[in-house]
Structure 1
Amino acid sequence: MFTRRALFAAALAMTALPAFAQNIERPWVSTDDVQAMLDAGDTVFVDFKATWCGTCKVQERQIDAILTEDPSLMEQIKFVNVDWDEYGNDDFTKSINIPRRSTLVLFDGRTEIGRLVAITDRDQIFDLIDMGVE
C-alpha cells in the first residue's frame, strides 16, 4: 500500500525538471537595451518577469533546462530578462502590447516571431525558442 507521502513524492518526481538543469545566466536588461539589440538585427528571447512571480519561476526553470540540454541555442539567440516591476509601464513594453509579467517574446530584429503568456509547458517554450533557430 502506498502512503500519501510516497504518492506525492512519485508525482513530484514525474513533473520535476532534470537534475542537471542549472540556472543559466540570462542578463537583466532595460527596455532600451532590448530595443538596441532589435535595432542591431539580433534574435532576442525576452522574458518579461518579476522576481516574486511563481509562474515566472517555473518558466525560468523550463528555459534553464532547455538551455542546459542545448547550450548552442545561446550562440544563436540572445536570452534576456526584463523586470516587469520596473518596465511594465514603459513605452517600449506598451508599444509591443505586453499584457503582464510571465510573458515570453521572441524577436528576429524588429519582427516579433512569437510569444507565450503565462505558459509553463516545456514543449511550448521549446517550440517558441526553436522558431529563432536557423
Structure 2
Amino acid sequence: MWMGRISLWVFDVQRKVTYKNLNNWYKELREFRPEIPCIVVANKIDADLKMTQKSFNFARKFNLPFYFVSAADGTNVVKLFSDAIKLAVAYKQNSGDFMDEVMRELENFELQKKREDSDKEENYAEEKPPST
C-alpha cells in the first residue's frame, strides 16, 4: 500500500505467494522511490498464532520495520499506524526525493487554489445586494 510518504508491505501469513512477491515489488519501488520509508506487515496472525514464532527474512534483509498484526481482531494495528504516521511525517519534513518535491508543489498548488476560491466566494457575498 502506497500512502504517498510511506509504503506498507502487507502479506497474508496464510498465503505464501503474497510473501514471495515482496522482493520483486520492493526492487521496483526502489527504482522510483529510493528513499521512501517502508514497513513490512505480517497480517492474519489471528488465524495461526504460531506464525509469530516464524522468521520472515524479507524485512531483516532490507533492514525494514516489521509488525505482526491481525486486522480482524486489531492486534498491533494501532501501533503499526501510529509508527507509520511518525515515519511518514519525519520523512515528509526531511525528504529530498524528487517525487516528494513534486508532491509538495501539488499540495501547495491545491492550497493556493482553495484560497483563491475562498476569496472569490467572500467577494461574491460582499457584492451581492441585500435581500428584501
Whether the TM-score (by the shorter chain) exceeds 0.5 is no
Q: TM-score, normalised by structure 2?
A: 0.30
Larger radius of gyration: 2
**More helix by percentage:** 2
Determine which structure has greater relative contact order: mean sequence separation of CA pairs < 8 Å that are 6+ residues apart, divided by chain length.
1
**More strand by percentage:** 1
